[in-house]
A and B are shown apart, each in its own frame.
Chain A
Amino acid sequence: MKQKINTLAVGFICPAGVVVGQPVKISDDLTVAALDAAGEVGIVGNVAVHLALALSCTVETRFRERRDDRIAAAATAVGPFVWDADMKVIPYTKQQIASVTGTEDDATFEVIEGSNDKFKVTIGSGGAQTFTLTPGAARTMDQIVADFAAATGFVASKSSGKLKLTATQDNVNIIIGTVTNDAYTLLGFTVGTYVGASSHDPASIAGLVIKGTLPLVVTGGVLGPFDIANNTNDALKLKVGSGASQTFDLTTGNDQTADDIANKINLTATGFTASGVNGYVVFTLDDPATDLEVEAVANDAYDTIGLVVGVYSAPMTVETLEK
């Protein structure tokens, strides 16, 4: 029995081993794969149609809308997304659980009653919890961890020989509080508030990006072969994103192919690759959401290969499935 209401069906590339009814996750641009970890956040839906050995399938999805006109605010891979303040797509990042680790990893610790045996912890808006360490001249870290057995809202553990306190839920702070006769110097802690890494509330997830931002591809506007003359039209000056300017001195000679030009550029290029495609010189950036600036330079080859001084902007459109 499967009782359901209207669902959206979307075609994806998928491995031949995926079967009908199987939940699948987004794994690459317009591509799904079988789940491979518990608690997957990129589930698209259940496979509805998949012919034997076919490498594409149709997925019934929980999402209500598929769009190809959303704009990303930054490089965005496939997976869950949230809106930024400008209604642009940014990747969802999981809330992180707060933790704090001491700096001391001695084999044993001398805990002295009434001197360095107190530890005060507050979790979020909860009440302060004060722990009294068991005194002893040679207390091991395992023994000290055991002194926190009554902790609420966090757990103590040994991490590389050091004491580590970890909250038991997302989005709460760990506060190490001031207390008389504290053990902070002994164990390497500092009074303060410790928070998880900045992140998004899962409730703010607006959907899945199913085709992420792509690297910029710039194609020269002139068909080769090209005649390159020394100190006339043999120079290029390019800048990738916020990187340093890169200057290229092309090989002089007539009837050079686009591949010849590309090969010369690739000898020193950083952040992009040049290639010859159907007789044109093509520049493909390594990273998505990165611009290419063609900078003015003496004796440039821009008219020759078909570039224009200025910034070529990276495509920022993504495809989404939205709640």
Chain B
Amino acid sequence: MKQKRNDMLAISFACPSTVEVGDVVIINSAKAVIKNNAAGSLKIVGTVCVHRADALTCTVETRFREHRDDRVSGAAISAVGPFVFDAAGKVIAYSAASHDPASIAGLVITTAGGADVVVETLEF
């Protein structure tokens, strides 16, 4: 049984052909997901809801409420994953050493080579 809200956000990602519907997936590289492979991952996007046999794209139902492509990076983002807003409201990668986990604003799903680069985000 799977009981869920009917207002889920669903987003397409590149993915390995081995991913199956119902798999929990994590963001792995720019707009690409793989099956979750670590305990307590901070990179979980959601659950695969559509994936045709052998296809290299899938659709993921996500816990996030908003998908945006207009956020701007505040610094280089070398790896996709959780992000926080900096003092200027720009996206920077979450750092366990310097940020409270409660400040995580969502997932950045594309990378940036430096500051002031438009990135895509999934936001709480």
Contacts and interface: CB of A to CB of B under 8 A. Distances in A.
Contact of B85 (A38, A95, A169, A170): A38
Interface of B: 7-9, 11, 65-70, 74, 84-89, 92, 94, 96-103, 105, 123-124
A3 B7 contact: no
A168 B97 contact: yes
A38 B74 CA distance: 10
18 contacts: A2-B66, A2-B68, A4-B67, A23-B89, A34-B89, A35-B86, A38-B74, A38-B84, A38-B85, A38-B98, A38-B99, A40-B85, A41-B100, A62-B65, A92-B102, A168-B96, A203-B101, A205-B102
Contact of B70 (A2, A38, A203): A2
Contact of B87 (A1, A22, A36, A168): A36
Contacts of B85: 23, 35, 38-40, 43
A182 to B, nearest CB: 29
Contacts of A92: 102
B102 A202 contact: yes
A62 B123 CA distance: 8
Main secondary structure of the interface of A (DSSP, over half): loop
A21 interface: yes
Interface of A: 1-7, 21-23, 34-41, 43, 62, 80, 92, 94-95, 168-170, 202-203, 205
Contacts of B101: 170, 202-203
Q: Which of A23, A40, A41, A202 has the most CB of B within 10 A?
A: A40
A39 B66 contact: no
A5 B7 contact: yes
A285 to B, nearest CB: 31
A1 B87 CA distance: 24
A175 B32 CA distance: 41
B105 A23 contact: yes
Nearest to B102: A202
Given A1-B68, A38-B87, A38-B92, 19 more contacts: A1-B69, A2-B68, A3-B9, A5-B7, A5-B9, A5-B66, A23-B89, A36-B87, A37-B87, A38-B84, A38-B99, A39-B94, A39-B99, A41-B100, A43-B85, A92-B102, A94-B100, A94-B102, A170-B101
Nearest to A64: B65
B105 A43 contact: yes
The 3 closest A-B pairs by CB, nearest first: A39-B99, A202-B102, A39-B103
B102 A80 contact: yes
Contacts of A169: 96-97
A4 B9 contact: yes
Contacts of A62: 65, 123-124
A202 B101 CA distance: 6
Contacts of B98: 38-39
Contacts of B65: 4-7, 62
A19 to B, nearest CB: 10
Contacts of A2: 66-70
Nearest to A7: B65
Contacts of B11: 3
Contacts of B124: 62
A40 B67 contact: no
Contact of B100 (A1, A4, A39): A39
A6 B69 contact: no
A5 B8 CA distance: 7
Contacts of A203: 101
A40 B74 CA distance: 14
